Amino acid sequence: MSTYENYHQTSQVYDKTRSAGGVKIIRSALAESKLPLEKQILVDAGCGTGLFAAAMVNHVQRVEAVDLNSGMLAKAQEKMLSEEKSGRINFHQSTIDALPLPDESVDAVMTNQVLHHLPDDESSGWPKHYKVFQEFSRVLKPGGSLIINSCSHQQLEHGFWFYRFIPKALRAVKEKHVDLDMLSELLQRSGFTNTHHKVPLEVVMQGEALFNAEGPLDPDWRSG
């Protein structure tokens, strides 16, 4: 659960400034598997309001959507009532470090802008991240895929115009993001191999909302 955001409240306005940025890259990465995309069982770990799950549900066999916040899950379910009824997606209220899924039961896991919400500590070696990655490894079948959508420190420093005016906020948000080298190390320690990353511009630059100069003055903009 996020330690600095009230997502019961945020769930009501979250989609106003968010989109499933980078979903084409996720599909492309999953399509590299020996198992065809349409036969894969995909976990959306920290699904939020279901933006990414909704973008993927008709491309895979089934989505297992997991989030701890009931408000966010309710919004996600509203988006995919027919898909849930047909068995294309299941919703689970749970933390992502204790997934309600059997060992080696899924083909892929994606987690989108979630990891920085973990109540973790760099000085202790990011133990919460390590536990989450071990849990992902547990539920993945041999040869399964893990897709992490996050921000590097460099992206945070140069990809968001408003942080230059609030350096204290930039420092705080950087402290919650594991940078790429450490992220790779944690993944390898958790049993993942062949790790690599991409930095697509369209994921950092998320449309008109990001460039709204008055956005930081709007509570809904800040919540989203």
* Helical segments of 57-198, H only: 70-79, 81-85, 127-139, 153-158, 167-175, 180-189
Residue recorded with tokens 């408003």: 162
Q: What mean pLDDT value characterizes the chain?
A: 84
Pairing type for strands 140-149 and 41-45 reads unpaired
Q: How many domains does the chain have?
A: 1
Q: Which two tokens stand for residue 31?
A: 């399509």
Classify residue 29: in a domain, yes or no.
Answer: yes
Q: Which domain holds residue 49?
A: 7-223
Q: What is the per-residue pLDDT across 30-56, written as a single tens digit (0 to 9) for each?
A: 999 999 999 999 999 999 999 999 999
In a domain, 2, yes or no: no
Tell me the average pLDDT across 77-104: 98
Contact 44, 66 (CB under 8 A): yes
Structural domain includes residue 48: yes
The verdict on residue 219 lying in a domain is yes
Least confident range of 30-34, 37-41, 91-95, 195-199: 195-199
Percentage of the chain with pLDDT > 90? 60
Is residue 150 very low, low, confident or very high in pLDDT (cuts 50, 70, 90)? confident
Question: Is 123 part of a structural domain of the chain?
Answer: yes
Neighbours of 211 (CB within 10 A): 11
Supply the pLDDT for residue 55: 97
Cα–Cα distances in angstroms (integers) from residue 70 to residues 54, 113, 204, 219, in the given order:
17, 18, 28, 21
User: Does residue 1 form part of some domain?
Assistant: no
- Band of residue 168 on the pLDDT scale cut at 50, 70, 90: confident
> Any idea what DSSP says for residue 98?
S
In a domain, 126, yes or no: yes
Assess whether pLDDT exceeds 70 at residue 12.
no
Decide if 155 is inside a domain: yes
What CATH number does the domain containing 51 carry? 3.40.50.150
| Type of residue found at 58 | N
pTM assigned to the model: 0.80
CA distances from 1 to 95, 97, 135, 188 (A): 7, 11, 16, 25
Strands 140-149 and 62-67: what pairing? unpaired
